[in-house]
Chains A and B, each alone.
Chain A
Amino acid sequence: MASSRDDFVIAFRSAFLKKENKQKFSLFTLLFISILIIILSSLNFKIIKDLKSIISEAVYRTSFIVSVPENFLINSYLKVAEYSNFYEDYKKNKEELKNFQSKEILNEIIISENDELKKLIEDFTFTRNKILAKVIVDHDSPFSKTLIINKGSKDGLKIGTNIYDENYLIGRVIETNFKTSRVLLLSDLNSNVPISISPGDVQAIVVGDGTDSGKIKYIKDNLIEDIQDQSIAYTSGTGGVFRSGAPVGRVSINQDEFSINFYSNFSQLKYVLVEIENSNSLSTTDNDQREIVLDDTESVKIKLLNDQIDILNDSNKKFFEENTELASQNKNLLIQNNKLENRIKKQTTEINQNKLDQEEFEFLKLNLLYSAKCQKSVFKKGYEVGTPEYKNCILKKGRE
């Protein structure tokens, strides 16, 4: 018994403490260092933060280079798939473009109105100074749905900076280095975004589900019925972490479970837009500033009205052009109509004439056969040739 215990101790000591051939450190030393690093990082020690920042700078770049062949293969496959669906996509896009063009004018008005209303309710108004950032590492993991982008504190990024794919919100910055940053995606389990659901204007919070969608939580029970399938979810701006009015996704209802299908496909992000805050946070305390805000509001109103006038003028011009074209078309149609009427008249006359000719022809044909029966002669009582009675007799084939 004692001997087996000794064996265990020897083997354990050997595994733990003995520095093997060509090994620079014993496993115990390395284990101790890693435990120390974990403890220090849980306590948010500055040294660990700096160390992490240094490693991040080096690793993100290297990871980007190492992933080049893999990304090349994936992109090539996607390109081939895209080319094979090219024509169908083109047709679909064409139809969509038509719809979008018709909605564009309406959207412009709504955007201007939205801007004005936001200023009136003294919401944070950002100057929409968006800069383009490249996704250098897109490492999927169950712990965190994050991206690494090539913009950092040098470019003005801060923790909490909103990140977009086109106009759609995709996440926020949670870690900044000098030239790189980590973005927490909306699909992450730790992501919470206050949203408004339209129609109904229901307030809720969308929480990432760790895959590629989100779950809607914290809705008041009596408002659940107001939510419809395919409703639109956009940020409400509550809490001030996210700007209000940024589209997030569409609501999907599945067996009393409400989830969000995000507009953006997080696995296909190559470039993202970073909203740098040139914070024009509208202060409510300063009167001068308030006046400036009001002046600004007036100018926005005037601009909005001017925009509306421009849009209406454009619409009027279009209608006028359409009207003129329709009038000329109408004129052409009338002329064509007259021509056709004349042609019909002519054809009717011809048909009538033809009818008369046919009657005459019939009479002559019968005359040849029955003239002897109907004609007046010395021995027979009949009718004078050329009289209506004679003609009647012929048509009746000699019968009286």
Chain B
Amino acid sequence: MVIFRKNKFVYKLYAWLPILFLLFSVLNEFDLNYLTIEYFSFNFPFILIFYFTLKEYNRFDYLLVFIAGLVNDTVIGTPLGLSSFSYIFVCIFSVYLRNITIRPNLIKDWFYFLFVITSINSMNYLILFFFFSYDLNIMFYVINNLFTFLLYIPMTLIFNNYLKTIND
């Protein structure tokens, strides 16, 4: 970090990396959430938002998360506000967990994350199905949920390293 602190711009860029990554992932055509591989997809923004909100990362602005949701809706063509709603819900669940946790435990966080994404995906499905009459494939949600859950641990390890370099 000594090298970083010498160059303020690079350090700032590095510090804002999670939110930039979130915006990049929702803007880019290549979306991990909708891979063309059969039976494999995962929701990267959910992992990112859950992790950095849980760790109370001070540059993770909720307003930018909200805007990322709006952008995501525009790009993929879902009703405006739906992704923002999901992302903010992830934040709420995550902040709640942070507030009630005294001694953080990765495994507990992991299973709590499963509960969070299952709830949010169910809400998403219900909203799209009942309010907007979307014809949806429920298998997609099940597979997406499963892989998002499974990939939480490897992603956490990467993010832990990132936070370590920032805090050093």
Contacts and interface: CB of A to CB of B under 8 A. Distances in A.
A59 B29 CA distance: 12
Nearest to B56: A20
A63 B30 CA distance: 10
Contact of B63 (A24, A31, A59, A190): A24
A70 B28 CA distance: 8
A140 to B, nearest CB: 5
A27 interface: yes
Nearest to B144: A142
Interface string B56-85: 101101110110011100111111111011
Contacts of A143: 76-78, 128, 134, 136
Nearest to B69: A34
Contacts of A35: 81, 85
Contact of B29 (A22, A36, A70): A70
Contacts of B1: none
A14 B88 CA distance: 15
B9 interface: no
Interface residues of B, number: 50
A27 B100 contact: no
B127 A38 contact: yes
A41 interface: yes
A234 B37 CA distance: 30
Given A15-B99, A25-B62, A48-B80, A30 B134 contact: no
Range for the number of chain A residues in contact with chain B? 35 or more
Most buried by A among B79, B80, B132: B80
A321 interface: no
A66 B68 CA distance: 14
B92 interface: yes
Interface string A178-207: 000010000001100000000000000000
The secondary structure that dominates the B interface is helix
Nearest to B67: A55
Interface string B125-168: 00110011011110010000000000000000000000000000
Contacts of A60: 74-75
Given A7-B100, A66-B24, A141-B77, A21 B92 contact: no
A42 B79 contact: yes
20 contacts: A12-B96, A22-B59, A24-B63, A27-B88, A30-B84, A37-B80, A38-B85, A42-B132, A52-B80, A55-B70, A55-B74, A60-B75, A66-B24, A66-B27, A66-B28, A142-B34, A142-B136, A142-B137, A189-B135, A210-B135
Ordered nearest first, which 7 A-B pairs have the shortest CB separation? A37-B81, A11-B99, A15-B95, A15-B96, A34-B85, A34-B84, A38-B81
Interface of B: 24, 27-31, 33-34, 36, 56, 58-59, 61-63, 65-66, 69-71, 74-82, 84-85, 88-89, 91-93, 95-96, 98-100, 127-128, 131-132, 134-137, 140
Given A25-B63, A25-B66, 11 more contacts: A7-B100, A15-B95, A15-B98, A30-B65, A33-B84, A35-B85, A48-B80, A55-B80, A70-B30, A144-B76, A210-B135
